[in-house]
Amino acid sequence: MTGLALERPVATIAWDLRTAWAAGWRIAVSLERSDRDRLEGCVSHVSATAAFVTVAGVHVPLDRVLAVHRPSRLGDSSWRSGRWSRERRVAPQPDSLFA
């Protein structure tokens, strides 16, 4: 599959990522021109200018994101002790990092 088959406007992808961030969803993103073809995890930051996103602690320029997907179930880290974990993962706040 080529990148053109998945191509969507960056602003649309940014809104999908903001929705995933606000809901606390675990997502997967397809990447081009990157060390990885796919990245899975929770969105912790989407820039206001739609320039970059942080997924699973990895800073990714939005012009490299081809598509936003549901995560695969193989090796899914949200499956714990025989049940699905629906907890929202929230990044530690700056004042709690040094407490």
pTM: 0.67
CATH code: domain of residue 50: 2.30.30
Residue appearing with tokens 């990447």: 31
One pLDDT digit (tens) per residue for the chain, 99 residues: 555 655 678 888 999 999 999 998 899 998 888 888 889 999 999 999 989 999 988 999 999 998 898 887 655 444 444 444 455 555 555 554 454
98 is a domain residue: no
44 domain-assigned: yes
Report if residue 40 sits inside a domain: yes
Q: Which residues pair with 38 in a beta bridge?
A: 30
**Any domain includes 80:** no
Query: What residues does 16 pair with on adjacent strands?
Result: none
Whole-number pLDDT of residue 6? 58
Range of the domain at 25: 3-71
User: How many domains does the chain contain in total?
Assistant: 1
Number of alpha carbons in the 13 Å side-chain half-sphere of residue 34: 18
